Amino acid sequence: MSISGTRNALLGRSPGQGLPRIVSSRGHEIVGQSGEQYLDAISGAYAAILGYSLCSVTTAMYAAAARLPYVHNARFDSCESVALANLLSELGGSAGYQVYLSVSGADGVEAALRIAAAYGEVRGRSYQRQWAALPNSYHGSSGFALSTTGHAAARGRYELELKRITRLDLLRWVRTPRGFDADWTTDRAEIERAIGKDIGVVILEPMLGNAAGCVEMPDSTLAAIAAVCRERDIVLISDEVSVGMWRTDGLSLSQSKGVDPDIIVLGKALTAGLFPLSAVLVSPRIALALQGKANLLGHTHAAHPIGCAVALDVLRHLTLPRFQSDVEGLKDAFATRLADLLRLERVRAIRGRGLMYSVCLNTPEDETVSGPIGERLYAACLSRGLLVMPGEVRGTDGVRVSDHITLAPAFNMPVRTLNHVVHVLTDALAEL
């Protein structure tokens, strides 16, 4: 069997769209079949946070595979799964979270929603099945997760199959001379009204990701949502699959903003891209209510001992004081370099936090002829060997409010490589 032949029976995400085939990697680059190199400024998709030369993590992975290649988590715990749960609980601080382990970000979100539903059932509440989520959010491609997703294009043709979700109208787009700005509701009374009386679960991202062009929720809005949820015994889920794990701020961005959500979902960066694994941090209030009363279900490969061993090594790495101070330095350098782009005519806003930013563009008049400008910038970057993520956002009225690309480099990218990323991006912007 050859792995480099021309036959391709792979049905990809966009059927019929030929994709470059990647054969190897090194440092912060992936390498294609003809030797073409791509400098990765998006960590794959927020996952490969330590780049592609992962010596200690792969050693931990091989050792775990040799020790215990598999165990079914419906019947057994493993030393790795318990150690990971304990460590994540400790990192979650005084909230005392218990930790459910799953596979992907989407099924972490689904597990969180099942846990909330089970909690409602135990408390004898049918309304726990009424969920509310933000517009322009993204929670994954499986059923419940896609239902809660606010990004209309992602729900697209699956709409009829999805659960009906209340959209929390807390984010408006306001026209300014340089494009649209996100305007959040901070008023407590308005937030109470938006959530209403019949909602049992609120799911949010404390910073909306590429699906919104990295729009951060103000601390006061998050605090008010959390207060309303607490008063009405609504389960508050913070989906931090993209923004958690020090990508923006700390293990959890919600916690950094002063809120301990009932449930936090982590994924992607947890295993630095090496293994599919997600973690659902559940508050003792909910976890204790479920003791002996619920079957939360799960997946064959959930809490996989190899994935847990990888996550333990990744967390060991991320929490080293020296590494943390380097990451803080990189975040400062990133913010400064990106702010420089605002002097360019094409760039109307830089939004984001930490190591995750969207570069938002002015939309030209001729966009229908030449295609969305974010896609064109993506192509211009790709032709220069730079990997970013393109995005487009429409407001609730369908009007395009953001064309952008998102950058989320690895946490250990050298500052000089990061400077090169911004240099190539500047060059690509000049081509538009």
Kindly list the residues in this chain that would bind ligand PLP in the complex (CB under 6 A).
45, 104-106, 109, 138-140, 205, 209, 239, 241-242, 267
Q: How far is the CB of 205 from ligand PLP (least distance, A)?
A: 5
Q: What's the sign of the alpha-carbon dihedral 198, 239, 377, 351?
A: positive
Specify the residue, 275 or 422, whose C-beta has the smaller distance to ligand PLP: 275
Beta strands in 219-320, from DSSP E residues, in sequence order: 235-239, 263-266, 278-282
Counting every residue, how long is the chain? 432
One-letter amino acid for residue 15 of the chain? P
Specify the residue, 356 or 377, whose C-beta has the smaller distance to ligand PLP: 356
Specify the residue, 109 or 226, whose C-beta has the smaller distance to ligand PLP: 109
Q: In a 3-state reduction of DSSP, which class is residue 360?
A: strand
For 108, residues 6+ apart whose C-beta sits below 8 A from its C-beta are 102, 241, 265, 266, 267, 278, 279, 280
Q: How far is the CB of 241 from ligand PLP (least distance, A)?
A: 4
Q: How far is the CB of 13 from ligand PLP (least distance, A)?
A: 11
Q: How far is the CB of 106 from ligand PLP (least distance, A)?
A: 3
Specify the residue, 30 or 204, whose C-beta has the smaller distance to ligand PLP: 204
| Closest chain position to ligand PLP (CB) | 105
Residue 131 bridge partners (DSSP): 201
Q: How far is the CB of 143 from ligand PLP (least distance, A)?
A: 12
Q: In a 3-state reduction of DSSP, which class is residue 321?
A: helix
How far, in Å, CA of 183 to CA of 159, rounded? 27
Specify the residue, 109 or 225, whose C-beta has the smaller distance to ligand PLP: 109
Residue 266 bridge partners (DSSP): 279
How far, in Å, CA of 71 to CA of 65, rounded? 11
Q: How far is the CB of 366 from ligand PLP (least distance, A)?
A: 31
345-358 b/e (C-beta count within 10 Å ≥ 16 → b): ebbbbbbbbbbbbb
Q: How far is the CB of 158 from ligand PLP (least distance, A)?
A: 15
How far, in Å, CA of 40 to CA of 37, rounded? 9
Specify the residue, 208 or 380, whose C-beta has the smaller distance to ligand PLP: 208
